Structure 1
Amino acid sequence: MDISIIIINFNSSTFTIGCIESIHRHTKTVSFEIIVVDNNSSSKDLLILETYLENSSVKLIKSKVNLGFGGGNHLGYQFASGKHYAFINNDVELTENSLLKLLQYSNAHPDIGVLGLHQVNAEQKQFRYSYRQFIGFNYHFFNQKKPQAYYGRLTNSDLSKPFEVDIVSGAFMFFKKVAYEKAGGFDPNIFLFYEEMDVCLRLKKAGYKTVFYPESTFIHFMGKSSTNVKIRAEFTISYLYVIQKNFTYSYFCAMRLMLLLKYGFKSILKPKKYYAPFKILLRGGNSLVYSMKP
């Protein structure tokens, strides 16, 4: 098996079905399997998915709890048998034989751990980022600019050929199996957000490169399965967890203090946007990875 494709469904079976159909429509001359992890969707949504997948080769794994992005992907990985893993959001549609291109490029470059590619919205307009720099002190103080400007300066090119980056979008990540397993894979403790930063940091520590592959594109409808998540709070909780996990405790404390000052000031000017993350930084908070479990 060349590729195991892992997709998470949560109350958005219509998008999951569209994603699966686009994979079958465009993926040729590649041996692949599709594994769908249902994250404890409603009975109505799950029935739609089960009916569609009846007599299909797609593996459907039904979780009894909502494991979030990290946990859901980690569950699907346990049933995978491919030499590469493609973790694809269910609100993604392929527009070409992207998986063949990624497979060929990955096989030709043993030092690559994960590849990402261009994402566009439904109107075929490019997203703000399909790749970006690590979000640490350097980012907050010196490099908080569009990734295209940041990497264009570093590579001194037009960014039309594959190049090494810190992070690729979590909407579509293409891993070598050996690299994914050596780095430890997605962390089930991260319910949502910053999973790609965490795993790309660990890939780098394990000696593998993260590479953006600009020669292929996919459509991302963006956030169609996460509309009920308390986004601002979870965003901050996940970020603090990733920083504390991957850096020293003194670095974490300095980062938390810096963000307290930053969001404290901004919450005065824009309370609706910044008060929630400021409160998390000040008092702490429990991630949805715990509150979603019985």
Structure 2
Amino acid sequence: MDISIIIVNFNSANYTINCIESIYKYTKKVTFEIIVVDNNSSSEDIKALNTFLENKPISFLKSKINLGFGGGNHFGYQFAKGNHYAFINNDAELTENTLLKLLNYSYSDKNAGVMGLHQVNKENERFKYSFRQFIDLKYHLFNQKKPIKYYSKKTNSDLTSPFEVDLVSGAFMFFKKEAYEVSGGFDPNIFLFYEEMDICLRLKKKGYQTIFYPESTFIHYMGKSSSNVKIKNEFTISYLYVIQKNYSYMYYYILRIILLFKYGFKSILKPKKHFSSFKIILKGGNSLVYSMKP
């Protein structure tokens, strides 16, 4: 089988259904399977999915707890049979035969471990971040918040052909099987956010490249799949975890000091927006992954 497509659902069956329908509509000339992982949604949401999936050749896995994005995807991977893995947000939709394009490119580039592509809204307007640099010390110190400008200069190109980046959006990640497995896959300790940075860092250490493929797009209804999750604190908790996990303690310590000054100042100007992040950077916090119970 060419591709295993893994989709995580949490109380958003309508988006999952639309995502699956777009896959069937546009995906041709490849063999694929679809694996849907439900993260302990409501009974009504499960019922809607069961009705839609009835008599379809789709694997439907139901977790007794909410595993989060990374954990849910990694759970689904354990049942995958394809030579490539496409982890697609359930609030995404295909608009062309994207999977065939990515498959062909993957076979042409032996160093490519994972690929991503442009995410657009319903009006076909591109999102600001479909690829970017690692959010590391250099990023904070030199204010590298314009990835298009950064990579245009780095590659000396107009970015219309595939090029290497640090990371791609986690909303659509297309892996070679061996690259995903060698990297260790998504970390279940990350409930939400920064999963793509973590796994792309590990891929790079294993000698694989992260490739941005600009010749295709997908629609992403940003945030719809996580609208019922308390995400504000998780954003900061996940980031600190990824830095501490992948860099030295001294590196983590210096970056944390920089963030304390940065968010301390922001908290003075906009306390409602930034004080919770400052508090987590100062004292730490517990991820939602540890609060989920069956």
TM-score tier, shorter chain, comes to over 0.9
Provide the rounded CA distance (Å) in 2 between the counterparts of 1:69 and 1:25: 25
1:44-102 deviation line (CA, Å, top 9, x unaligned): 00100011001110100000000000100000000000000000000000000000000
1:20: which partner in 2? 20
Q: How far did residue 145 of structure 1 move?
A: 2.2
1:233 correspondence with 2:230: no
1:130: which partner in 2? 130
Provide the rounded CA distance (Å) in 1 between the counterparts of 2:292 and 2:123: 34
1:140: which partner in 2? 140
Provide the rounded CA distance (Å) in 2 between the counterparts of 1:64 and 1:145: 39
2:274: which partner in 1? 274
For the 8 Å contact 2:89–2:225, the answer to whether it is kept is no
Provide the rounded CA distance (Å) in 2 between the counterparts of 1:228 and 1:280: 21
Provide the rounded CA distance (Å) in 1 between the counterparts of 2:185 and 2:249: 23
Q: Which amino acid aligns with 2:141?
A: F
3-state DSSP class of the match of 2:47? helix
Superposed counterparts of 1:113-124, under 5 Å:
113-124=113-124
Q: How far did residue 293 of structure 1 move?
A: 2.7
1:199 correspondence with 2:183: no
Identity of aligned residues (%): 72
Runs of 4+ that moved beyond 3 A: none
Q: How far did residue 228 of structure 1 move?
A: 2.5
Range with greater deviation from structure 2 (140-149 or 271-280): 140-149
3-state DSSP class of the match of 1:76? helix
Superposed counterparts of 1:91-130, under 5 Å:
91-130=91-130
Q: Report the TM-score, using the length of structure 1 for normalisation.
A: 0.99
Q: Which amino acid aligns with 2:48?
A: I
Superposed counterparts of 1:1-294, under 5 Å:
1-294=1-294
Q: Report the TM-score, using the length of structure 2 for normalisation.
A: 0.99
Q: Which amino acid aligns with 1:190?
A: I
For the 8 Å contact 2:13–2:46, the answer to whether it is kept is yes
For the 8 Å contact 1:143–1:150, the answer to whether it is kept is no
Q: How far did residue 154 of structure 1 move?
A: 0.6
Q: Which amino acid aligns with 1:230?
A: K
Range with greater deviation from structure 2 (274-283 or 78-87): 274-283
Q: Which amino acid aligns with 2:13?
A: S
3-state DSSP class of the match of 1:6? strand
Q: Which amino acid aligns with 1:22?
A: S
Q: How far did residue 230 of structure 1 move?
A: 2.3
Q: How far did residue 229 of structure 1 move?
A: 2.1
Provide the rounded CA distance (Å) in 2 between the counterparts of 1:293 and 1:189: 15
1:166-201 deviation line (CA, Å, top 9, x unaligned): 000000000000000000000000000000000000
Range with greater deviation from structure 2 (55-64 or 228-237): 228-237
Provide the rounded CA distance (Å) in 2 between the counterparts of 1:179 and 1:247: 21
Provide the rounded CA distance (Å) in 1 between the counterparts of 2:123 and 2:264: 37
Provide the rounded CA distance (Å) in 1 between the counterparts of 2:205 and 2:38: 32
Q: CA RMSD in A?
A: 0.7
Provide the rounded CA distance (Å) in 2 between the counterparts of 1:128 and 1:57: 36
3-state DSSP class of the match of 2:225? coil
Q: Which amino acid aligns with 1:76?
A: G
For the 8 Å contact 1:260–1:278, the answer to whether it is kept is yes
Q: How far did residue 143 of structure 1 move?
A: 4.2
Provide the rounded CA distance (Å) in 1 between the counterparts of 2:69 and 2:252: 24
3-state DSSP class of the match of 2:213? strand
Range with greater deviation from structure 2 (282-291 or 165-174): 282-291
